[in-house]
Amino acid sequence: MWFECKVRFDKMMENGLVKKVTEPYMVDALSFTEAEARIIQELTPFISGEFSVAAVKKTKISEIFWDDSADKWYLVKPAFITIDEKTAVEKRSVSQILVAGSDFKGAYDNFLEGMKGTMADYDIVSIQETPLMDVFKANLSGPVGNNSNDSNK
């Protein structure tokens, strides 16, 4: 599950003034508690001084298309089109997909690349730039220093 975490901290602005800001981040977690712990773990090395997690909310993101060279995140809403076999009525179900892109066209291209091979028909309902600062995948290897493959135990 993807959670949006809003983190509040003092940030040095380009003009040299310190301003209290709240920035949104996305983390992959199983619960609200894990999401809060993950965002604290991810941001601690990068934020000097104190910070707090102002909010954690579950999102409806169904998939994420990554691009390591991109610095922005876009929310793409495709409407998947299906036909009800009994009534022959067309049904549209809208999904939310987070796509990395350097700009709008890059996000569009990355979305199309991510959808290659998809058999379902779809229309793009919207593409919108998000205020997300970063997105953190699940840490599947576990905590640093916890190597379960260590044969010297």
- Express each pLDDT in 107-120 by its tens digit: 999 999 999 989 98
pLDDT of 85 > 90? The answer is no
- pLDDT value for 141: 54
How big is the chain by its Cα radius of gyration, in Å? 19
For the record, the structure tokens of 141 come out as 């290897």
Residue 12 predicted with pLDDT over 50: yes
With pLDDT > 90 as the criterion, what percentage of the chain qualifies? 78
In this prediction, residue 146 carries a pLDDT of 32
Residues 6+ apart with CB under 8 A from 21: 8, 9, 10, 11
Greater confidence (120 vs 124) lies with 124
How far is 122 from 107, CA to CA, in rounded Å?
17
Average pLDDT, the chain: 90
4: closest CA among 50, 60, 42?
60
- pLDDT bracket for residue 148 (50, 70, 90): very low
Backbone dihedral angles phi then psi of residue 34, each to the nearest 5 degrees: -65, -35
